[in-house]
């Protein structure tokens, strides 16, 4: 996979679990097919939406194989391999590679509140040496416990085959400098929904985000619309994405609200895996009310 292959709508697919915590493989492949049919240019497996923290290396490999088989060459599959230790990250990445992943998505060492530049670069150098495949970096200060600065990202690109980045920093100063400095060197994929339209307009290549799935036929048009002169259509999509992001991020423990919302529109997202509980009835009612306000159809 090359940087040119990473663009547009790249959904991070959920992992459907049943009440016993088992992966529902048929439901997972149904979701993959639905997302490709919606216009996805790649599929991201075992990311935050996929409850990566609850998956073993064998499960990540199996999900990768299921996605690759379902995609059948239509789009590449990217698999998340983030972990606190290098060994676990390598194990996850190798399982993904053996099962057909075109690239891996990797944070720096997670849950470490501080890291030196040497430690950061050593991590990506060693990961690269162990797996020998393209890497999509992932900067998520809220989830990783640390923030990759613009200079950090540049330094990582010097030691690892970084083809793109999922940028989930919520500071638009950061996005602005990232796009200006690196948009010709790698694919910049926006994370926060409310940054998608302005980010692409300024030079980002696409998005790996939560919420666009609910826009139906407009989902595949977001990237091209964002590059046009802004008008009412762009403003409406930006507003809808913003409200969806606030809704899905603002209720329950992640990704319970997202899974509940997917179930409401008829997609078999199942329930979260332990220790996360399914969204409460009150949260489901809140989702329904917001869907009503946004004109999103759902099943009663």
Q: Is the pLDDT of residue 96 over 80?
A: yes
pTM: 0.92
Q: Which option is the CATH number for 3-227: 3.30.70.100, 3.20.20.70, 3.50.50.60, 3.40.50.11260?
A: 3.20.20.70
- pLDDT at position 40: 98
Q: How high is the mean pLDDT of the chain?
A: 95
Q: Is the pLDDT of residue 36 over 90?
A: yes
Instruction: Output the CA angle 110-116-120, nearest 5 degrees.
Output: 55
Report how far residue 92's alpha carbon sits from residue 57's, in angstroms, rounded to the nearest whole number: 5
- Of 138, 195, 245, 259, catalytic: 138
- pLDDT at position 29: 98
Q: Is the pLDDT of residue 57 over 80?
A: yes
Render pLDDT for 64-91 as a digit per residue (tens, 0 to 9). 999 999 999 999 999 999 999 999 999 9
Q: Does the active-site annotation cover 87? A: no
Neighbour tally for 33: CB within 10 Å: 16
Q: Where are the domains of the chain?
A: 3-227
Going by pLDDT thresholds of 50, 70 and 90, the confidence category of residue 113 is low
- Of 60, 97, 166, 259, catalytic: 166
SS3 sequence of the chain: CCHHHCCEECCECCCCECCCCCECHHHHHHHHHHHHHCCCCCEEECCCCCCHHHCCHHHHHHHHHHHHHHHCCCCCEEEECCCCCHHHHHHHHHHHHHCCCCEEEECCCCCCCCCCHHHHHHHHHHHHHHHCCCEEEEECHHHHCCCCCHHHHHHHHHHCCEEEEEECCCCHHHHHHHHHHHCCCCEEEECCHHHHHHHHHCCCCEECCCCHHHHHHHHHHHHHHHCCCCCHHHHHHHHHHHHHHHHHHCCCCCCHHHHHHHHHCCCCCEECCCCCCCCCHHHHHHHHHHHHHHCCCCCC
Q: Does the active-site annotation cover 221? A: no
CA 71 vs. chain centroid, Å, equals 17
């Amino acid at each position: 996979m090359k940087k040119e292959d990473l663009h547009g709508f790249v959904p991070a697919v959920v992992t459907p679990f049943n009440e016993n915590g088992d992966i529902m493989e048929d439901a997972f492949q149904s979701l993959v097919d639905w997302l490709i049919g919606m216009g996805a240019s790649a599929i991201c497996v075992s990311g935050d939406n996929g409850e990566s923290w609850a998956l073993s290396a064998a499960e990540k490999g199996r999900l990768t194989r299921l996605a690759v088989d379902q995609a059948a060459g239509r789009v590449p599959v990217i698999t998340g391999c983030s972990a606190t230790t290098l060994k676990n990250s390598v194990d996850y990445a190798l399982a993904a590679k053996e099962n057909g992943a075109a690239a891996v998505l990797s944070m720096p060492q997670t849950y470490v509140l501080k890291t030196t530049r040497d430690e950061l670069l050593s991590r990506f150098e060693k990961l690269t040496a162990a797996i020998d495949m393209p890497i999509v970096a992932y900067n998520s200060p809220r989830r990783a416990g640390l923030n990759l600065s613009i200079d950090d990202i540049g330094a990582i690109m010097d030691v690892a085959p970084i083809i793109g980045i999922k940028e989930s920093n919520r500071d638009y100063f950061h996005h602005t400098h990232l796009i200006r400095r690196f948009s010709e060197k790698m694919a910049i994929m926006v994370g926060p929904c409310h940054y998608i339209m302005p980010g692409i307009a300024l030079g980002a290549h696409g998005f790996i985000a939560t919420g666009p799935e609910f826009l139906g036929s407009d989902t595949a048009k977001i990237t091209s619309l964002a590059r046009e002169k802004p008008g009412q259509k762009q403003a409406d999509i930006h507003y809808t994405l913003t409200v969806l992001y606030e809704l899905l991020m603002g209720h329950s423990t992640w990704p319970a609200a997202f899974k509940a919302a997917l179930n409401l529109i008829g997609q078999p997202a199942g329930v979260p895996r332990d220790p996360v509980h399914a969204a409460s009835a009150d949260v489901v009612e809140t989702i329904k009310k917001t869907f009503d306000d946004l004109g999103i159809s759902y099943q009663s």
